[in-house]
Amino acid sequence: MDKITLTHDVPVPPAAAFYLFVGEIGKWWPPLQTPDPARHAGVVIEARPGGTVSFRIGGEDRAWGEVVSVDLRSSIVFDCWRRGEHRHPSRVSVRFSDSEWGTRVTFEHDGWDDDNAGARARYGDWPLILAEFVAHTRRHARGIRVAARDPRGVA
């Protein structure tokens, strides 16, 4: 089955892009892309092998992934069952590499087989979700430029 591949260039260095994706995922993940948007309190990635990827719903964490590997500043890979296919997860890989504009972010979601192929069609929301990440990096980059021009943060 075809994997989902999305590529974006973002205006921050790779280490910053990695941090904004992993460390600030709770700030940019769209609440409507969670099981309970009214009680959405964020998303968390424990950036270590075996760490969980979780929705924060009210006061509880609901795991929907498990980190397979992390190369700080350059990639994260996790098994994913966000759409309920816990017994047969698929795999998400996000790579951060230098580009002329800052960082090339390459997102791939694959690992589809006969056991989880039915879930593949339910992942059409990745472009919407990653658009929020791109917007978050742009807001962050504008803040860096303003701070660089004037130490008081005044443009």
Domains and CATH numbers, the chain: 4-33+73-149 (3.30.530.20)
Confidence (pTM)? 0.89
* Interval 25-71: pLDDT, tens: 999 999 999 999 999 999 999 999 999 999 999 989 999 999 999 99
Amino acid 67: pLDDT: 98
CB-based contacts of 61, cutoff 8 Å, min separation 6: 44, 52, 54, 55
